[in-house]
Structure formats: C-alpha cells, structure tokens
Amino acid sequence: MAKASQIESEKTFEIGAPYYCTECKRNHTKGKIYKEHLQFAKLENPIEPNVEEDEVSENEETEINEEIIDEEIKNVDIESLEETIDDEEFEKNFEDENDEEDYDLVKNESIIKDAESCVNDVKGLPGVGDATLRKLIKAGFNSLESIAFTPPSIIQEESGLGEKTTIKLIKASMDKLNIGFKSAEAVWEHRKHIAKITTGSQELDDLLGGGIETGCVTEFFGEFRTGKTQIAHQLCVNVQLPREQGGLEGRALYIDTEGTFRPERIIQMAEGLNLDYEEVLKNIIFGRAYNSDHQILLIREAANIIKEKNIKIIIVDSLIGHFRSEYIGRGTLANRQQLINAHLHDLLRLCDIYPELAVVVTNQVQAKPDVFYGNPLQAAGGNVVAHGSTIRVYLRKGKGEQRVAKIVDAPHLPEGEAVFSIVETGISN
C-alpha cells in the first residue's frame, strides 16, 4: 500500500513549503498536501521541475491526512497524520477537505471559465486594449451585460473613460447581446424557467408564488421583531441547498447596516436542515456598512465578485437605516431620495446582469400622524422605495412565535396573507 511519504523516497515534505504539482504545472504553497494532486506532487526543483516521479498504482489505496494541517504546527511527521480512506470516501470528502483556493479551482471550475469568457468578450469589443480592459474590470464592468445595462455617466465616473469611448462600448455590447424588442412569448418562455429560493415555510412560499424570485428585488418591511432579519438569515442558508430542495447551490452576500447579523443564528438554522454549519458559514460573504456612502459602495463592489464567488442572493438589512439617520429634515429630503433611488437601481441592474441573482432588502416603517382609523404604519422611504422594489411584503406580529406576511405589491401576484412561525431551527409553517 503506497503512502504519501513514499512518493519521494529520497526527500520529505516540509510543512508550509511549496511543492511542485505536475498536474497543475505550478507550486502549491498552502501548507498542506492536496489530496487530489497527491500522486502528482514533487518537491520543488527549480533546475529540473519535470523529473520523473515514482508511479503510484491507481488500484492502491493512498494513505493521506484527512484534516488540514494547521499552519502553526511545525515539524510534524506527515506519516503520523496519514489515514487510509477508500476511493468512495475520498470523492465524498474531497470538497470539504480543501481550502478556498481549491474550492474555486475544482468545484467552481465552470464558473471560473464563465468569468474568463465574459472578460474575453469585453476584450473583444472594438477599441478595448489592455489599458481600457484594466479600467473596466477594476470598476466592475467585466461582462457585456454590465456594460450594456449601465448608464454611460456611471461607466465614465467609475472607470474614468471618455464619453465617446463609453458610448461606443455600450453600443457594441448591445449589438453583441442582441438587445432590442422581443415577443411576449419569448418573455413567457424565460419566465417559466425562473429559479426561486424557498423561505422554509410552505405557506410563505405559496404566497410568493413558489419562493423568493430571482431577477428582481423583494422587500420585506415591518415593525421590529416581525421577522425581517430572521427571514434574511434563513435565505442565506436556504440558497445553498440543492435545487430540488428549493435552493440554488450558491453563496449569499449579506450587507448588514444595523449590526444585527448573527452567525449563531445561522448555525441553528443550518443544523435544523442537517447541514454542516462550518461550510454554510464559509459560503456567506459578510459586509458591514457603517454609513450610507459605504453601503452604496459595497453594492457597487459586489459586481466584481458575484460571478467569481457564485453568489445567488444579496441581502441588504436594512435598506434605509443609514439614510434616515444621516439625512435629517425636509431640506435634505430631496438629496436623500435621489441617493436611495440610485442605490435601488444599482440593485435592479445587478438583477438584469445576473438573471439567477435574487435581491432581498428589509425596510423599516414609519407612522403617519394623520391616520386615526386603520393601520398608521407605512414603509419608510416613500414612493421611491415603493417603485424601486419589485415585490413588497408587509410583516406583522401574530400570536407567540407566529408572524403574518401580506403581499402589498407584486406585478404578478394577488394580494393575500400567509402565517409562518419563527422557531429555534428557523422559519417554518
């Protein structure tokens, strides 16, 4: 039975030192021996990098370390860490055992190829050289869709390109994407294949027409303790589920503006679905927005990582908190509303560029002092937020752990209500 230490009989691997991989034709320097490439591993030899290595039989079981060796451990005998696993277990555990770099190189190989293809498409536009390409990619315009769907003024401001160059790039991108009129039948064919993310509650899913819809902005608004943040946490977990279970097999990007994100809650929800909470936490990319400008900046920077990180949902919790605290008085109202409007359109534009991306925002409420009968509460942000959100859901408290969700506005859904519960394991019926 071949051991890892027997691949190089004359030399031994040193923890943390690079070794040459004949399969990747590059050095691995992450401080551990990659299982998949173990049979291709050689000690780094700058003079003769292609020296023949001892052959390891495909039928032999390879004894390797199942755990990632901590970088702080020094002078550990590799043989003492080796354990024998069969091929079936190797395949099962491979993705869990590798680090972030291996995840991108192996599990998301097709996603990386798509991202490279998008960059090559941009490079193929007329007048785009290396300097222009670098400016576009740095500003987040790394696909034809991102260029075609973005107003010229924003591209100029973010990338520093001239007006004529920008207009030429947008026109060329639209021509390549064949953007123009299409029949309602074509739109219907597209709508039939729209993916949706389960909320965890069948009643709430039915109210939303099957779950949280991709390609649009869904707004949840209500008083404190009505379940807005709980739904946001649950969606970060559910988006990672297989498609047959109501997920998208993707990652989540969570923008926290109020300091209410809690990994402990994610762990409870993951365990409720029998998921490995460590992997679930790894697949949630977190950003803390400290003011309204930072919040806007984070969303614009998100365009650079959506494709690379396989992000399928963006959460903004909450949308208007910073704007309400920073723009006080009627004198600042116009400026505030314009910024919120631009912020919402940044989110809508991401939905256009990435059709399988869902955007969910939470919103606060305010009371109308002139209402004496009925519910005086309404969503903060006024008509700007109302027009910018595709689907609006009002949440209110019920008995005990129960919450009530009501469709306030949706272009394709009737008004209705659903009752769901918030329990220790997350959102449920």
Determine the longest span between alpha carbons in the chain, in angstroms. Answer: 87
Over the chain, what is the mean pLDDT? 80
pLDDT digits 0-9 by tens, 229-281: 999 999 999 999 999 999 999 999 999 999 999 999 999 999 999 999 999 99
Percent of all residues in the chain with a pLDDT value above 90, rounded to a whole number: 49
Q: Which domains does the chain have, with CATH numbers?
A: 4-106 (no CATH), 111-177 (1.10.150.20), 189-428 (3.40.50.300)
DSSP reduced 3-state for 206: helix
pLDDT recorded at residue 421 = 95
Only one residue has tokens 């606060």, namely: 364
Residue 378 has pLDDT above 50, yes or no: yes
pLDDT recorded at residue 185 = 94
Query: Which tokens belong to 264?
Result: 């402990």
pLDDT recorded at residue 92 = 47
Only one residue has tokens 């222009």, namely: 132
* CA distance linking residue 425 with residue 276, whole number of Å: 14
Query: Which tokens belong to 21?
Result: 């991989």
Give the angle 222-384-223 at the CA atoms, nearest 5°. 10
User: What's the pLDDT band for 131 if we cut at 50, 70, 90?
Assistant: confident
Q: Do residues 304 and 141 touch, judged by C-beta distance below 8 A?
A: no
Residue 104 has pLDDT above 80, yes or no: no
Q: Read off φ and ψ for residue 332, nearest 5 degrees.
A: -100, 0
pLDDT recorded at residue 234 = 97
Examine residue 325 and say whether the peptide bond preceding it is cis (omega within 30 degrees of 0): no
Query: Which tokens belong to 110?
Result: 């097709």
* CA distance linking residue 340 with residue 320, whole number of Å: 8
**Residues with Cβ within 8 Å of residue 352, at least 6 apart in sequence:** 145, 149, 215
pLDDT recorded at residue 370 = 78
User: What's the pLDDT band for 103 if we cut at 50, 70, 90?
Assistant: very low
Answer yes or no: pTM beyond 0.75: no
pLDDT digits 0-9 by tens, 282-314: 999 999 999 999 999 999 989 888 988 999 999
Radius of gyration of the CA atoms of the chain, in A: 26
Position with higher pLDDT, 55 vs 344: 344
Percent of all residues in the chain with a pLDDT value above 70, rounded to a whole number: 74
Q: Do residues 56 and 2 touch, judged by C-beta distance below 8 A?
A: yes
The sign one gets for the Cα dihedral 236, 110, 33, 242 is positive
pLDDT digits 0-9 by tens, 144-160: 888 888 999 999 988 88
DSSP reduced 3-state for 39: helix
| Nearest alpha-carbon partner for 269 in 235, 243, 218 | 235
* CA distance linking residue 404 with residue 252, whole number of Å: 25
